[in-house]
Structure 1
Amino acid sequence: MPQEQPPEPRKRPRQQRSTMLVAAIQEACRQILEREGADNLTTARIAEVAGVNISSLYQYFPNKEAVLADVYDEIIDTLLMQARERFEELDRLSGQSLELTLAAIVDMEIAQLRELNRLAPDFYHRYQHRFDIHARIDELACSLDNPSWEAWFSRFLGCHRHRLRPGDIELRSLFVRKTLRANLRWAALEQPDLLGSGEFREELLSMLLAYLQYPQYPQQGRQAAD
């Protein structure tokens, strides 16, 4: 069964004047979300803040959700640019440190989800399949002839095979990626404040490292066992 998609704009601007009008509508939508909250977002309020006639808004957008979809597309584009820069850092770090690379990945995933969840969380959760940052990152990677996120992550773990418990690297990679995303999505939906918690971040990182690595016994315990 096809997943529900957000409303599309009625048409796209073709001239400079109409492009400026649509940009003003999008910016007004963001301002309302930032300053007044999603509960106060209406087409009438968007038109008022944008300084345009509401009939002009309806020329391009059938409802407020269509405007929101455009705003979220812009957010995704910004996150993609940031991810491209972060991946260069991650790639350099990946061969040096398991812990630091995994911490950087957790930080990046949290930052992306916080931004997507920040302005209109109900809208985002309803249409998160449309605004899937991971799918968009993979599309970008393929367009640049780079490995997918899944392939890169498996390669990263393979660089630290000597630090990991014995087992299938591909399967281990799958579990780590899915576990991280599932916990973050649960937090975004049920307890969004956790996404800003340093303790939550540390617990996530500790859980992933504990799953990947050999058990770390206290030194005294190891000596007693010897």
Structure 2
Amino acid sequence: MTEKQPPRARKLPKQSRSLFTVHAIQQACLKILDEEGAGKLTTQRIADVAGVNIASLYQYFPSKEAILADVYDKTMEELAEQASQRFREFNRLSNHSLSDTLAKIIDLECEQLLALLKLDPDFFREYQHSFDIHRYINELTQLQNNPSWQAWLEPFLVKHQCKGNPRFRGRLIEQTLQGNLRQALIEQADLLADPEFREELLQLLLAYLQ
């Protein structure tokens, strides 16, 4: 079954004036979400805060959901760039400690989901498959000539003498972590910010690997 996709912008801006208008709309959307909450988000409110005519807004976006999708895309880019900048830190840590490295990975994954959920919880839950930050970061790291998650994880497990086949273990570790995070996101999102929940996730992974 094809997953429901979020509405998208009508057209991409090319001229400087159009770029300015779309940027103002994006920033207005973020401002409303941050200061007033998702319940106050409407196309008219976005246009008012952006200082643009509602007709100008509709030139580029058919609905507030399309604006949200655009804002989520930009936020994903920012989160992915932040994560890629931490790759060396993770790589250095991975030489010394299995537990500490996995704990940092869990923290990062939880913080990214919380950042995306905070913008508009209902929208993100409905379209989370379209804003898979884990997949997005994996693709970005490879574009930057860094290894994929799986290519990095397998030698990491070998280095720390984890039992079993590292290829299968790596895949199951990824599926276990992502599955638990997604379930928490759907059922009880506040768990993602709970240090005890993160610790239990860490112990689950360590028990399997050791």
**Counterpart amino acid of residue 172 in structure 2:** F
Q: Does 1:193 align with 2:176?
A: no
Structure 2 counterpart of 1:222: none
Q: Does 1:90 align with 2:90?
A: yes
Q: Deviations over 1:193-222 (max 9, x none)?
A: 111111111111111112211xxxxxxxxx
1:177: how far off?
A: 1.2
Which sections of structure 1, spanning at least 5 residues, go unmatched? 214-226
Question: Contact conserved, 2:9 with 2:66, CA < 8 A, in 1?
Answer: yes
Any runs of at least 4 consecutive aligned residues in structure 1 with deviations exceeding 6 A, and if so which? none
What does 1:107-146 correspond to in 2, within 5 Å? 107-146=107-146
1:140: how far off?
A: 1.5
Q: Please state whether the residue corresponding to 1:142 is helix, strand or coil.
A: helix
**Counterpart amino acid of residue 209 in structure 1:** L
What does 1:21-100 correspond to in 2, within 5 Å? 21-100=21-100
**Residues of 1 paired with 2:195 and 2:95: CA distance?**
26
Q: Deviations over 1:45-80 (max 9, x none)?
A: 111111111111001100001100110011100111
Question: Contact conserved, 1:137 with 1:149, CA < 8 A, in 2?
Answer: no
- Give aligned-pair identity as a percent: 56
Question: Contact conserved, 1:25 with 1:46, CA < 8 A, in 2?
Answer: yes
Structure 1 counterpart of 2:149: 149
**Residues of 2 paired with 1:6 and 1:160: CA distance?**
42
Q: Which has the larger radius of gyration?
A: 1
Q: Higher mean Cα deviation, 72-81 or 5-14?
A: 5-14
Q: Please state whether the residue corresponding to 2:9 is helix, strand or coil.
A: coil
Question: Contact conserved, 1:38 with 1:119, CA < 8 A, in 2?
Answer: yes
**Residues of 2 paired with 1:133 and 1:193: CA distance?**
18
Aligned residues: 210
Which sections of structure 2, spanning at least 5 residues, go unmatched? none
**Residues of 1 paired with 2:193 and 2:146: CA distance?**
31
Q: Please state whether the residue corresponding to 2:115 is helix, strand or coil.
A: helix
Please give the root-mean-square deviation of Cα atoms over the aligned residues, in Å.
1.3
User: Does 1 or 2 have the higher relative contact order (CA < 8 Å, sep 6+)?
Assistant: 2
Structure 2 counterpart of 1:176: 173
Q: Higher mean Cα deviation, 32-41 or 51-60?
A: 32-41
1:144: how far off?
A: 2.4
1:24: how far off?
A: 0.8
**Residues of 2 paired with 1:78 and 1:85: CA distance?**
11
Q: Please state whether the residue corresponding to 2:131 is helix, strand or coil.
A: coil
**Residues of 1 paired with 2:190 and 2:134: CA distance?**
22
**Counterpart amino acid of residue 146 in structure 1:** N
TM-score normalised by length of structure 1: 0.88
**Residues of 2 paired with 1:155 and 1:141: CA distance?**
17
Q: Higher mean Cα deviation, 14-23 or 69-78?
A: 14-23
TM-score normalised by length of structure 2: 0.95
